[in-house]
Structures are given as C-alpha cells and as structure tokens.
Structure 1
Amino acid sequence: MDAKNVNYRMEIIQQSAHTIHHEVMWFERVVDTALTLYFKNESEFDSIYAHQPPEIVTIDSPYTQLIREYELGFEERLILILALIPHVKPQCLDVFLIKNQNLDCEFSEFGGVKSTIKSGFFPTLETACFILGGYDFNARFTFLSVIKKDHLLYKIGILDYDAEQDFGLHQPLKISNEYLGLLTTGKKYLPQFGAKFPAKEISTKLNWEDLIVDQNVMEDLTEVKDWLLYSDLILNEWELDNKLKPGYRVLFYGLPGTGKTMAASLLGKATNRPVFRVDLSLVVSKYIGETEKNLGQLFDEAEHKDWILFFDEADALFGKRTSTKGANDRYANQEVAYLLQRIEDFSGLVVLATNIQTNIDEAFSRRFQSMIHFPKPGKKERKLLWERLFQDTFELESAINLETLSDDYELSGGEMINVLRYCALEAAKRNKKIIELNDIIIGVRREYNKSNKTI
C-alpha cells in the first residue's frame, strides 16, 4: 500500500473514531437516564429522548454516511451503537451486570447473554427493548411490532441473527463482520472462503471493450448488462413487478478459455456489482448433506448486497440429478433441488457456466432468460486478440504476420494467453522485449498437444 493510500486509510479511521466516540457518549447518557428512571431515582430528565443523538451534518465517516443513507432515527441509532459497543467500549455495558438484591439474581429485564470465551455483558434485543421502554408496555409492544427479521438493520445486513433460532427478544444483538469493519476502519469485509462460505470474489483489470467475442455474443451480453442497469426502473418505478419476476438467470456455455469468466467479471465491473464465483463441483461433491446450510448464507448475503453469483462448472449441479441408488444420491438430489429453487428465486443476476449445453435438462433451461454460447473465436476475433495481447509491450519479429497466425491456428482466447505467457518468458530469458515467430509456433504446439492436436 503506497503512502497516499495509507494516509487516506488513517484519515478514515480517525473520522470513524471521532464519530463513534461521540455516539458512545450519547449512548452512555441515554442508558444512565434509562436506569435512573427505571429504578425511580431522582433525575433531571423525564425521558431518554431528552438526549438527542449527535449531529452528523459536518462529519463525514462511514458511520455518518450509513446514518444519512438510510435515514436512521433515534431508535435505530441506539440499536446500532448498542450492537457495536462490545467491540469498541465493552465496559459501557458493565452497568447491566448488577444484581437484583431482593432476589439475589440478575435483572432478567436487562436481557443479555454470557460468552464462553470472554467476560462482560453481551446485549440482546431485550437489552435494546429495555433501554427504549423500560417497564412501559406500550413501548415494548411497539418495539416487538417493528423489530423483525425484515427490519432494515437486518435486511441490509448491518445486524446478524442466528437463523437456527426462533427470532425474538432473546436474539443476541450482533453487528455483522462486514459492517464492523466498514464502520470502524472503512475497510470492506469479505467472508473467508471455505465450507461455510463456498465462494470467492472475482474481478478483472480489463474493460468492456477488451472482451473480444462475435457480434451475437456481444449483443446477448449487452442485454444482460442493460437489465442490471434498468431493472429497478422497470420493476419498481414502472411497477411491472406484478408481471415480471425479479432476477435474471443466464447460462454461459462453451469450451474452456472462450471468455465466460471474463464476461461475468465485466458484467459486475460495468454495473458496479461484486461478482462471486461458486465452484459447484466442490460444494456438491465434498459437502454432501451440507449444501443447503452452506449456500443458504451465500444466497441471503448476495440478496442483501446485490452481488452477482457466478456458478462455475455448473455441470456438477445438473449432473447430480440421477436415479437414487443410496443415501448419498438422495441427499445430492435434495440439495440440487434446493439450489435450483434458490437460483430461480434469487432477485439478482445468476450466471451458470458449463462446457456442455446438453447437460442442462429441458425443464430447467426454460427458466433462463438468456442462454449464451461462447464459441471459439473466428479468424477476425483471433486477429484482434493477437493484436491486443502483444500491443504496447512487445515488438514483433518481422517474420510474424498476425493475419497468417489467425488463419492458420484455431485457438481460444485462453489458449492464446498461454502462448503469450510462454513467449514473454522466452523474451525475458533473452532480456529483449521482442517476440520471435519460433516462440509463437512452439507456444501454439504446446497448446495443441494438450488436446492431442498437431500443427
């Protein structure tokens, strides 16, 4: 990270620290008043609402940006800072560790849960409900009617909840890892790839004009891109959501190296959406019986954050739907049915990539909005690819004719990149940025040998 980026990161951290410090001070005043009023001690305030949240007009940090973007009010800001406090100033919550002297036990109305790995008080929704309403039934019932799984704070992924528990006031009040990182350091958090999150973010340094495909493929991809750009207008502003199903499902099929992954990455880049690749051959085969659980989190998170899901090697998904010969086959078929249903219900873009179109059954193929074939590039596309690969970096030996290369050798874009890698290595060994014809011929022969072809 260069000095400019380091300074920018430090500036964000300082702004975040300043904002959260003042938000915590406000929270402490609110809690002090809430407890004073609850225990009927003398107070100069008759309500916690006498303490209004800090002004955020002149401050620009990830925290204040979030408040402004979603127009968070008193209650939402209190819940948000309560969820964040165990990570930034846990001692603020020690006041809830006091005991009921009459019963020699904790105050159940404070809520909270205990941790097996560290000491302290960890809030639940009950804690927030108590602070906001105390013993006021009206405030409590209002809280219960508003705070549900579809509440904004949960819907956009600011707060996490345990999906395996019934949702209620006993739910621990937990800020998601993503927003913990974003609000404190401004740094985006991504779940770690593994069994619980079987996906990795993919991106590209290339641009839309760098994608060399035939005109039909480009037109089909442009339609997908246009849907991402205009679907909100069509479905919501024009109110066609009662006639058109949200989401877009597209199948990319074609031989390896023909641009399927690059196209998915560029769709994300062109529409400012993260793209996550899921390798279904890994998921379905290695985690038999676990797919539904492991991919559930992925679909939920992608739904909230407008991710594009790219299911690579989708052959594994469709190939599992066979006759059941044992428990594993039954599990696999159940999991595939679950995956297909989640894919069909997903409100964003789902791209499935396969090498062989015939693996897709007819019933499911009707659910795709587009099925795009990525053929090997023709002569025209091959010439463009050769030009793009060598331009700006290398000088070509005079004997090299890109037109002739394009006519003589049928290669995919991926195979041509492998040829470039070989040629670059040979040029580096000579310490000259000159590509020789013999290097290209050897590179092509190496690619042909992989598929048992000869020049």
Structure 2
Amino acid sequence: MSNSANILLALDSLKTIFSGRLKIFLGKENAIDIDPPRFVMDNSPFASFIQRHQPSFDEYVILLLAMAPHIKPEYLSSIITEYIPDGSNFPEIGGTTGSTHRGILPTGETAQFIIAGNNLDKRIEVQRILGNDHWLARKHILWLEPIREGEPKMSGRLTLNPEIVEELTLGKISRPLFSIDFPAEYLETEMNPDDLVLPPETMLNIREIENWIAHNDTLLYDWNMKKVIKPGYRAIFHGPPGNGKTLTATLLGKKTGKDVFRIDLSRVISKYIGETEKNLSRLFDKAENKNWILFFDEADALFGKRTDVRDAHDKYANQEVAYLLQRIESYNGLVILATNRKTDIDEAFSRRFQSIVHFPILKPGERYSLWIKLLPSQLAMADDIDWHMIAQRYDLSGASILNIIHYCSIEALASSQPLNLKKLEKAIIREFTKGGKVV
C-alpha cells in the first residue's frame, strides 16, 4: 500500500468515528462502537511514524484530526455538512477558521467532542493530552495554539508541526531556509575531511568530538548514564580568523552525517527586551531532536564577560546570556561557539563546555601542506617557486592562502601564462595589504 493510500485509510476510519459521534449528538443513535482508526503496518512514512511513537488510541485520533486539513482541506466541513446541512453553528463541535484556509480547522474542543462527547472524565483526559507536559508537546509534534487571555484553552487551534506534516507525507523533513524565524545558514563544502590541515593538538581535540558523536548514544542508553550526564556536547573554537574554525565545523558535519547550521547572532540579538530570548527559543525549538550541529560564529558578541548590573539594560543583557546558556546546556546535540579571542568569553561560561579547541596560526610545515593540497593541478607553474620557502617566509592563515591561490589561478587563466615567483609574491603582498599588514 502506498503512503497516501495508508493515510486515506486512517482518515476514513476517523470519519467513521466522527460521524458516529455526530449521530449521538443529533439523537439519531444512542451509542456507537468506536474502533481504532485503521492503517496498514508497513514501511510507509506514515506507518513508520506511528510505529516509532506508539500513540494511544486518543493520541492517535488527535494526531489524525490535526493532520486532516493538511491532506483534505474539506475534511471536517464535509463531514459536518453531511449531518448538519444548514451549517448551524454548534459550539460543542468546536472548530475555527484560518486567515487563508477556507475549511474548518479543528480545535481542542473538536478533539474533546470526537473522543469524549459529554463524558467529563474523558474530556479532561483529552485536555491532559493537549497539555504542555505531554510528549506530543514536549517533542514539538502537536500543540494547542495560544488563545486570548480569558478564553477557554481548548478553543485553541490544533497545530501540527509543519515538519511532522512533511515526515508523515513525504517521509523526510526538508532543511529550513534562512529567514527571520530561523536566522541560521546551512553550511556545506565540497572539501573532504582529509583536506583539513590543523596542528596535531587541534586535530586531537577534533577527534575527541568525533568520538562523542559516534559513541554518545551508547554511553547514555546502553550504559545507562543518561541520569547523570547531560545529552549534548558543548565546545569552544578559538583562535585568529582564517585558521579553519568554520571549515572544521562544516567537515565535522560532513564526516558524521549531520547538518551544520551557522547562527547569525546579528539576527538573533535584539535591543527590545525579551525579543532575543524569543528568537533563541524559536531557533532551539526548530533544532530540538534534529541532531544538528549548531555553530555560533563570533559568539563573544553574546557570550562576552558579564557586566555589573548598573541599569535595566545590563540586567536584561545578563538575562539573555543566562537564557542562551540554559538552552545550550539542554540541547541534545553538538553546540560550537567560535570566537577570535578566548579571553572575551566569560570564564564562568567556559567551565560549562566539555572541550575548548585552539586554532593557532599555522606553522611553516602546516602552511606547506595547505599550499600543496589547495593548488589546482591544472595551474602551470614556473620552476623558480620553492613552496617550502614560501611557507617558511610568509606567515599566512589558511583563508589567506586560499585567497592567494584563487587570485593566481584567475590571473593564469586570463593571461595564459604560468605562475612564477614574481606573480606569486605580488599576490601575497596584495593579500597582506588587504589586511593592513606589512610584508
């Protein structure tokens, strides 16, 4: 059975339950036999999701009810119209309308009507399922839309996470796009982990992080250490710019099969009280349970040394840092804070991190390896270039070396002439001048 056919089978069963409840409500029947909504246990995305989460009967009905408008926009309105042709408004049934959706959207009251009818105990049970402490909300699968103060909570719209809709229908969740609501850029590279050139001590620290990624689940669950060890891992990458912090994070993701997102802190931090926390909350809610690597570049912008509280601004700035620290510590994946100067990070924060990785200026031997790895094989070169001498003489970062190779390659293509020492040193001087340095 196809995934779509399986979903429709389940929705047809839900329709039978809803119709039976309407018959009782309208006095056409005294009681109905309610069987669990059917579906076929196969490897389809829908069945796999249900098998993985094992919802109870009531939870399953609520999940289907929330999913229905995403599959069949007319689902609720067509069932109600069949039994109430004049479209009379019955508050017992619940339901609401959206700003663009033209059908009826289910609310918590709709779930109570279908599952419980007038049974108060069952209605309270549905209310518990739709509470913030239930696993559906904690796993950010399904929740009630907030309503205006003073109105019944159950009148809130049943909201199914759009990512769950994708998982149930398409079998996979697409990567989020950079936006105001998700100020993070997906990092990718065509380079391979073997292309990375780092000092031995730095590489050893990166291997430790790789070991955590590979064995953390075994430690937490098979060795039963979850009760004493927090699930995530926190690292600080520090060192001068251009020495591989971002590339290392990107290649960590590539080697371990995890998506890496670089957080744009300029989009997260707000001058308005409470907005920074809201932005961070949306970001971490989106990332929760995805096993993403979150890379906070220039983290000292938010994780700098805390100030004494002299005014309201200082008070709320410290609250923002405390909130970010709390979310980072509770995140179950890898979080990397990158900074050019470790001294700018408050020591109280540094102690919360399992790993502090230094990315120093490359030594001559490391610069030589990088030159050789990055030079394109198609670039014709004169015999007067001694790459050992170049690596020894010019103190360049990895990013600067790449910039120089890029410039020389374009010049060689434009002139159809091989690269010689004079042209190479001209490109090196150009790169130093860009950074305000003197050769």
Structure-2-length-normalised TM-score: 0.87
The CA deviation at 1:122 is 0.8
Map of 2:287 onto structure 1 = 302
Map of 1:234 onto structure 2 = 219
1:396 counterpart SS class? coil
The CA deviation at 1:312 is 0.8
- The equivalent position to 1:87 in structure 2, one of 70, 86, 90, is 70
2:384 counterpart SS class? coil
The CA deviation at 1:385 is 1.0
Map of 1:25 onto structure 2 = 12
Tell me: CA distance 1:365–1:386, structure 2 relative to 1, closer, same or farther (3 Å).
same
- The equivalent position to 1:266 in structure 2, one of 241, 246, 251, is 251
2:98 counterpart SS class? coil
Cα contact 2:58–2:126 (8 A) shared by 1: no
Map of 2:23 onto structure 1 = 36
Map of 2:411 onto structure 1 = 426
- 1:30-89 deviation per Cα after TM superposition (whole angstroms, max 9, x unaligned): 32233224444259x93220x6412142xx443233233334564444323322222221
Q: Which moved more, 1:241-250 or 1:222-231?
A: 241-250
Cα contact 2:362–2:397 (8 A) shared by 1: yes
Distance, in Å, in 2 between the alignment partners of 1:244 and 1:235 is 7
2:289 counterpart SS class? helix
Q: Is 1:107 matched with 2:90?
A: yes
Map of 1:210 onto structure 2 = 195
Tell me: CA distance 1:386–1:150, structure 2 relative to 1, closer, same or farther (3 Å).
farther
Partner AA of 2:183 in structure 1 = P
1:106 counterpart SS class? coil
Distance, in Å, in 1 between the alignment partners of 2:90 and 2:335 is 49
Distance, in Å, in 2 between the alignment partners of 1:118 and 1:257 is 49
Partner AA of 1:23 in structure 2 = A
- The equivalent position to 2:131 in structure 1, one of 142, 148, 152, is 148
What does residue range 207-356 of structure 1 map to in structure 2 within 5 Å? 207-284=192-269, 289-319=274-304, 321-323=306-308, 326-356=311-341
Partner AA of 1:122 in structure 2 = L
The CA deviation at 1:311 is 1.0
Distance, in Å, in 2 between the alignment partners of 1:292 and 1:260 is 26
Partner AA of 1:94 in structure 2 = S
2:92 counterpart SS class? helix
Map of 1:123 onto structure 2 = 106
Tell me: CA distance 1:100–1:42, structure 2 relative to 1, closer, same or farther (3 Å).
closer
The CA deviation at 1:281 is 4.0
Map of 2:359 onto structure 1 = 374
Cα contact 1:253–1:354 (8 A) shared by 2: yes
Tell me: CA distance 1:61–1:427, structure 2 relative to 1, closer, same or farther (3 Å).
farther
The CA deviation at 1:316 is 0.7
The CA deviation at 1:134 is 2.3
The CA deviation at 1:428 is 2.6
Cα contact 2:37–2:61 (8 A) shared by 1: no
Tell me: CA distance 1:441–1:216, structure 2 relative to 1, closer, same or farther (3 Å).
same
The CA deviation at 1:234 is 1.5
Distance, in Å, in 2 between the alignment partners of 1:395 and 1:151 is 65
Tell me: CA distance 1:192–1:117, structure 2 relative to 1, closer, same or farther (3 Å).
same
The CA deviation at 1:187 is 5.7
The CA deviation at 1:111 is 2.2
Distance, in Å, in 2 between the alignment partners of 1:282 and 1:78 is 39
Cα contact 1:34–1:47 (8 A) shared by 2: no
Cα contact 2:107–2:144 (8 A) shared by 1: no
Q: Which moved more, 1:406-415 or 1:109-118?
A: 109-118
Q: Which runs of 5+ in 1 are unaligned?
A: 1-13
Map of 2:33 onto structure 1 = 47
Q: Which runs of 5+ in 2 are unaligned?
A: none
Distance, in Å, in 2 between the alignment partners of 1:100 and 1:72 is 30
- 1:229-273 deviation per Cα after TM superposition (whole angstroms, max 9, x unaligned): 222221222122333333222111011111111121222233332
1:109 counterpart SS class? coil
Distance, in Å, in 1 between the alignment partners of 2:146 and 2:195 is 43
1:351 counterpart SS class? strand
Cα contact 1:225–1:271 (8 A) shared by 2: yes
Map of 1:10 onto structure 2 = none
The CA deviation at 1:327 is 4.3
Map of 1:413 onto structure 2 = 398
Cα contact 1:156–1:305 (8 A) shared by 2: no
- 1:364-392 deviation per Cα after TM superposition (whole angstroms, max 9, x unaligned): 22112111110121122112111111254
Distance, in Å, in 1 between the alignment partners of 2:412 and 2:12 is 63
Cα contact 2:235–2:335 (8 A) shared by 1: yes
The CA deviation at 1:442 is 2.5
- 1:85-106 deviation per Cα after TM superposition (whole angstroms, max 9, x unaligned): 22221211015766999xx963
- The equivalent position to 2:173 in structure 1, one of 188, 199, 211, is 188
Identity %: 40
Structure-1-length-normalised TM-score: 0.84
Tell me: CA distance 1:161–1:260, structure 2 relative to 1, closer, same or farther (3 Å).
farther
2:362 counterpart SS class? coil
Aligned residues between the structures: 435
Map of 2:425 onto structure 1 = 441
The CA deviation at 1:451 is 2.8
Q: Is 1:453 matched with 2:433?
A: no
Cα contact 2:220–2:231 (8 A) shared by 1: yes
The CA deviation at 1:450 is 2.4
